[in-house]
Amino acid sequence: MNIKNQDFLNMQKDMEKEIDFFLENFSDSPEKLSGWGHDYFCHIDGGALIFDYEKPHEHVCSVCGKIYTGIKYDQCWTYTYRYNVMYSLTKAAYLFKETKNKKFFNYIISILNFYSDNYKNFKVQAKGQIVDNLTIDVGGASKIMPQGLNEAIMLIRITNALSLIKSELDPEWIDKINENLFQPAINLLNPQRVRIHNIALWIGTAIASVALLTGDNEKVNEVYSGEFGIKNQIDKGFTDDGFWYEGSIHYNYFALEGVVNFLLFAELYNYNIEDRVKDKVLDILKAPYEYAFDNLMLPNPNDGWPNLGLKTYSFIYYIAYKIYGDKILDLIATIEKNEDPRTDVALSKPYYYKNYIPLERLLFAKDLNLSNKGLSPGKSKKFNNSSYVILKNNKVNIFAKSGHQTKSHAHPDKMNIEVSINGKFLTRDLSNPGYGSTICNEWNRESLSHNTVIINGKSHEMIEPGEIENFTQNSFSIKSNSIYLNTLSQFERNIILNDNGFTDEFRVNTDDNKTKDWIFHIESEVLLKDISAKFSNDNIIFDKNGYQHLKEINKFEPKDSIIFNWDFYGKNLKNILDTSNKEVYIAKSYDNPANKFRTTIIVRSNKNQEIFKNIWIMEE
């Protein structure tokens, strides 16, 4: 990415417009409750609702245009408004340092005076409901924001801004903000640090940021050490492979963002962090590159947001640059040299000018020279402690997930695979839209939306790690003997890469002749050209656990094998299915968002022991 000085100047003008808008239009009240951001999604297709400053009572789906009204959505609007206000403080701080224009300084003072003067009047709430139990929900209680997690992020946004201009601040004013806003917020949040979890990590970082700003090293020591302190969150929350234990790449980066913010404050205020801890965090920062597909998109199991890539999270690497310097430079260069557009997250959005310059680059690495830097292409690798494995050759990348580390944020998707060929997806994990969306819970969080095997139409029930065996640079086996409760359910999937495709063999063993559905989803952009079979009827027998959302179901006449020919971005991709003594269906199923449909193949068997074999060949 070649950034010119004019780009930075245009970015500054963009930020100044936002500050001017709030200077003229800021309006808030302690009477308003913040809503849970995950409710701000369409129930029809999972599309994010459009936040419009001028329409606090009208919320339009970004995909289908459906208009949502009501207090729940108005509260979500209030949350987004407040989040944007808090984020604008760091922009204003930068602009004040850069221009010396006092209006930016005064803006920060006026906003924080309002929230400081009124914090006592905000009601204790959780996700838009008044509560008296601070740990009523895993997200925790809050006042200004919808849950403790978001209140913690708010404190970090504030302390980020104040740290940039601390030398200009009146110590008595800081004491006032500390007494009326920071300490009451800390008293609310600190009792919520009760587990190894991304939320407790963020809360610890928020408290540490306030303590470092105000010179309270005793409080920093308290939240850094201890059973649920930041150090233990790093040591116990991240596996030895370098991934957050909840098994989601988004939550991996979300937790990592909290960690690097803490290291940033420690760096700014000369708080000593052991080399061992800093070295582990550096390894965690580098691990996703080895995990990523060659196109730098990220495998996406479990809860999170769809279509994530390394570029989605480049802002974290610019914070890390302030801490690690040249140790992280090759990775930053590799990310920035990727020419694909940056994909975004749906909530707690970082600010990117024109979707390509993060605020953190402006703050910490404006003059960074990335020429003659970069990393060699990644190789096949297994991540034993995270139940992940990825195979890579010059053409085909295959990611597989063999199991789980925890129930938190887990999807029932053991043995799921994601495949890219020549940098394009054949099949990917959809992740999900907001958790409050109907389609999220009826489709994205069901086994049927994944490339795996389902027994008797039920989603997987067991949350246990899997095994990775017989790993080479071109092959692996993944196994799990705990898929369903109270029944024998042994799964084994064997993948072999070759120069023009791959072979996929899925073995299933159950204790009687249960119905076994092998599922494979093909991306919306990959079109079926022809098929060596004829349709019969559309009987599929199951009507829940996601099956109710299948569209245009067709059953094929019995045949020993079926060959599909797919138009894969202008090339013929042949798919040979072993269908001897099996039923075969083809259907349409939801993509993410659900205004598009993928093609879904279902191969059914009622034998107690079955092998599903699938061969893919790219024809030149």
> Domain boundary at 353, 378, 403, which?
378
Q: What is the pLDDT of residues 557-593, one digit of tens each?
A: 999 999 999 999 999 999 999 999 999 999 999 999 9
- Strand bridging mode 516-522 / 453-455: antiparallel
Claim to verify: residue 364 and residue 443 sit in the same structural domain? no
DSSP label at residue 443: I
In a domain, 122, yes or no: no
Claim to verify: residue 355 and residue 399 sit in the same structural domain? no
| Structural domain span for residue 342 | 230-378
Claim to verify: residue 374 and residue 432 sit in the same structural domain? no
pLDDT, mean of residues 370-388: 94
Per the listing, tokens 């403080």 go with 89
Helices in 309-352 by DSSP H: which ranges?
314-324, 329-337
Q: What is the pLDDT of residues 78-88, one digit of tens each?
A: 999 999 999 99
Claim to verify: residue 562 and residue 418 sit in the same structural domain? yes
> Domain boundary at 345, 378, 411, which?
378
In a domain, 541, yes or no: yes
Instruction: Give Cα separations from 614 to 305, 505, 563 (angstroms).
Output: 29, 6, 10
**Two tokens at 379?**
């190789």
In a domain, 559, yes or no: yes
Claim to verify: residue 345 and residue 408 sit in the same structural domain? no
Claim to verify: residue 263 and residue 299 sit in the same structural domain? yes
pTM over 0.95: yes
pLDDT-derived band at 4 (thresholds 50, 70, 90) equals confident
> Domain boundary at 349, 378, 407, which?
378
Q: For residues 76 and 51, give the distance between their C-alpha atoms in angstroms, rounded to a whole number.
A: 9
Q: Are 40 and 434 in contact (CB under 8 A)?
A: yes
**Two tokens at 293?**
């597909």
Q: Are 558 and 588 in contact (CB under 8 A)?
A: no
Backbone angles phi, psi at 424, to 5 degrees: -120, 145
pLDDT of residue 137: 84
Q: For residues 266 and 268, give the distance between their C-alpha atoms in angstroms, rounded to a whole number.
A: 6
Taking each helix axis from N to C terminus, what angle separates 230-237 and 217-224, rounded to the nearest 10 degrees? 20
**Two tokens at 117?**
């003067």
Per the listing, tokens 């394009």 go with 424
Residue type, 110: S
Listed in sequence order, the residues at least 6 apart from 27 whose beta carbon sits closer than 8 Å to its beta carbon are none
In a domain, 327, yes or no: yes
Claim to verify: residue 364 and residue 457 sit in the same structural domain? no
pLDDT of residue 5: 86
Q: For residues 67 and 75, give the distance between their C-alpha atoms in angstroms, rounded to a whole number.
A: 15
pLDDT of residue 173: 98
Q: Which helix (H) or strand (E) holds 155?
A: helix 148-164
Q: How many CB atoms lie within 10 A of CB 31?
A: 8
Looking at the 3D structure of the chain, how many domains does it have? Answer: 2
Q: For residues 360 and 358, give the distance between their C-alpha atoms in angstroms, rounded to a whole number.
A: 5
Q: What is the pLDDT of residues 321-376, one digit of tens each?
A: 999 999 999 999 999 999 999 999 999 999 999 999 999 999 999 989 898 899 99
Claim to verify: residue 505 and residue 553 sit in the same structural domain? yes
CATH number of residue 556's parent domain: 2.70.98.70
Supply angle C-alpha 139, 199, 268, rounded to 5.
140
* pLDDT at 444 > cutoff 70: yes
**Two tokens at 228?**
């649920």
pLDDT, mean of residues 8-22: 97
pLDDT-derived band at 2 (thresholds 50, 70, 90) equals low
pLDDT of residue 1: 52
Listed in sequence order, the residues at least 6 apart from 209 whose beta carbon sits closer than 8 Å to its beta carbon are 155, 156, 159, 160, 261, 262, 265
Claim to verify: residue 352 and residue 432 sit in the same structural domain? no
Claim to verify: residue 419 and residue 372 sit in the same structural domain? no
Q: For residues 216 and 419, give the distance between their C-alpha atoms in angstroms, rounded to a whole number.
A: 50
In a domain, 168, yes or no: no
Q: For residues 41 and 49, give the distance between their C-alpha atoms in angstroms, rounded to a whole number.
A: 5
In a domain, 478, yes or no: yes
Claim to verify: residue 464 and residue 363 sit in the same structural domain? no
Claim to verify: residue 326 and residue 403 sit in the same structural domain? no
pLDDT, mean of residues 533-550: 89
Nearest to 207 by CA among 235, 229, 227, 234: 229
Instruction: Give Cα separations from 383 to 165, 239, 298, 388, 389 (angstroms).
Output: 43, 9, 15, 5, 6
pLDDT-derived band at 480 (thresholds 50, 70, 90) equals very high
Q: For residues 233 and 204, give the distance between their C-alpha atoms in angstroms, rounded to a whole number.
A: 9
pLDDT of residue 536: 82
Per the listing, tokens 């030149």 go with 620
- Widest Cα–Cα separation across the chain: 82
Q: Are 613 and 504 in contact (CB under 8 A)?
A: yes
pLDDT-derived band at 540 (thresholds 50, 70, 90) equals confident
Q: What is the pLDDT of residues 128-187, one digit of tens each?
A: 999 999 998 889 999 999 999 999 999 999 999 999 999 999 999 999 999 999 999 999
Supply angle C-alpha 606, 608, 614, rounded to 5.
70
In a domain, 141, yes or no: no
Q: What is the pLDDT of residues 587-602, one digit of tens each?
A: 999 999 999 999 999 9
In a domain, 543, yes or no: yes
Residue 340: left (phi > 0), alpha (psi -120 to 50), or beta?
beta
